[in-house]
Chain A
């Protein structure tokens, strides 16, 4: 008998993605990798939105939310990468630990 793929499976995958993203953000020191972790968090939320919209009733709100989030994620990545590029030009590193002049 084939296993039915249901809401729980989607939620498990999304929770896993969320945890991996959070782990990545908290442990990695390279700014680019941190941004990749953030991307994982956003996509886990997207997966949630779509799964709830698909299995939790006929409303398309969730799908719409996911589309908005994808667009915003792209805009945010563009800005964040521009800032990281500027950091690289000034400090010749993108390691967030090495960039701490603003500390007392």
Chain B
């Protein structure tokens, strides 16, 4: 037992490093009050150390920590790397944000909370126990409630945090009730144990259905899928922009990591499935993946249709992120390793294009103090470089070749077609067409409308342009040269077949 704990704590180093960073950032803030950027630099240092520990875990054999509480395997390492990269990027964003600088608050707490949010997501990526899943979801949620209320002098930030905390607490409460029923049905909190109990049978199907629907409420809230999306537009609009960007990418990725692991481990009978899929342990007359397919269709359609009417760019990107949750769910519906690899590819691509789009919006908001779509009129003439970069990112979000977004969609759709989900693929393709309309509306405002006579050229600092290019260049590059990414994503899910 002692040996197991010692072995586990070796594999727990990235999380330990994050915890230490959290404390050090707070202390630095306490003792070096005059140096306001200092906590950010300390946070970056801590994140780099964490990254070094994660890099040391690459190529290791899959392991479970602390008596099946957490798993360290290629799948969780993929998501940890993605989360860590987002956190580093968000620290850069925050240093550039006028919104945060003007709030004149001590930034130590802000960076400390970013680190604790990252820790929560790390745990979400590895959780294999119902309690661990609930704890990590709550750690993530609580940090994000506070972060979205960080500029608390602003009315919109306050309102956003209230809506977030109420929706979040209700969804996680529903999820917990579902977990308690699942525990009662199977007598186990460990998802491998639940899997064994379900395979053995003797489980009341109606109760199982209720508990999984309740748990899906919790997952759906984290990935902001319809009908658990109501918090998303308000929080994305009200929260400070760097926080919004973080929630839209890392929070969604962590939610998907946990959901995918839960479904794949719990509901697949590996012994039966000699095929690529394994069989769903299903309630007679009801297929789990139809439940997920309904969520996917609702998220794509409602997200895209409402986005068409939006005039605030942050709100528009919020609805677009709901639609993207729908696309990502397609891969989970398929549940084959091909589908899962497609989700990983799409998330990596989404990281570049969505963070880039949010950064472009932030750059503009810093200069003209507005996120309204009418204020983007003629922006392509006032700042051609930003206009072109933003265009590439938006085209990628739509999924037009030769951008990275196309590659992501291609793999998702081909996984769907291979699994004979033709109607779902058709709905998804139609939705991409709808999304083209509202992304193009921004482009039309930027390039096809002449600027006001008063609209002087806008100049951006070199640092901001370099950060923007950090997203734009990979977005193009991954659109033409995506082999390594695909191989890496496929390698990250191989351990699921062994179960």
Contact = CB atoms under 8 A, between A and B. Distances in A.
Interface of A: 11, 14, 18, 21, 25, 31, 34-35, 38, 41-42, 44-46, 48-49, 51-52, 56-57, 59, 61-62, 64-65, 68-69, 72, 75-76, 79-80, 83-84, 86-87, 90-91, 96, 99-102, 104
Contacts of B315: 104
A21 B233 CA distance: 26
B166 A65 contact: no
Interface of B: 130-131, 134-135, 138, 142, 145-146, 149, 152, 155-156, 158-163, 165-166, 169-170, 173-174, 176-177, 179-181, 183-184, 187-189, 233-234, 237-238, 309-312, 315
Nearest to B132: A68
A103 to B, nearest CB: 8
B202 to A, nearest CB: 13
Contacts of B187: 52, 56-57, 59
Given A79-B142, A87-B162, A104-B311, A49 B135 contact: no
B135 A68 contact: yes
A101 B156 contact: yes
A27 to B, nearest CB: 13
A65 B163 CA distance: 27
Given A45-B173, A65-B189, 20 more contacts: A18-B177, A21-B173, A25-B170, A35-B166, A35-B169, A42-B173, A48-B184, A52-B183, A62-B180, A65-B130, A68-B134, A69-B176, A80-B165, A83-B165, A86-B158, A87-B158, A91-B155, A91-B159, A101-B156, A102-B233
A65 B188 CA distance: 11
B159 A102 contact: yes
Given A48-B181, A57-B187, A61-B188, A104 B309 contact: yes
A17 to B, nearest CB: 10
Given A48-B177, A68-B135, A79 B130 contact: no
Contact of A87 (B138, B159, B169): B159
Contacts of A45: 173, 176-177, 179-180
B142 A41 contact: no
18 contacts: A38-B169, A42-B176, A45-B177, A46-B180, A48-B177, A48-B180, A59-B187, A64-B131, A65-B130, A69-B134, A72-B135, A76-B138, A80-B165, A84-B162, A86-B149, A87-B162, A96-B163, A96-B166
Nearest 10 pairs of A and B residues by beta carbon: A48-B180, A41-B173, A52-B184, A45-B176, A45-B180, A45-B177, A38-B169, A102-B234, A61-B189, A80-B165
Contact of A83 (B131, B149, B311): B149
Contact of A38 (B170, B237, B311): B170
Contacts of B183: 48-49, 52, 61-62, 65
Given A48-B181, A56-B184, A62-B183, A72 B160 contact: no
**Looking at B146, B161, B165, B189, which has the most chain A CB atoms within 10 Å of its CB?**
B165
A64 B170 CA distance: 22
A79 B238 CA distance: 18
Contact of A86 (B131, B138, B152): B152
A102 B237 contact: yes
A22 to B, nearest CB: 8
A72 B162 contact: no
A18 B217 CA distance: 15
Contacts of B173: 21, 38, 41-42, 45
Given A48-B181, A104-B310, A76 B158 contact: no
A79 B159 contact: no
A101 B158 CA distance: 11
Contacts of B149: 83, 86
**Looking at B173, B177, B181, B238, which has the most chain A CB atoms within 10 Å of its CB?**
B173
Given A72-B134, A86-B152, A79 B162 contact: no
Contacts of A35: 166, 169
A22 B234 CA distance: 22
A90 to B, nearest CB: 5
A66 to B, nearest CB: 9
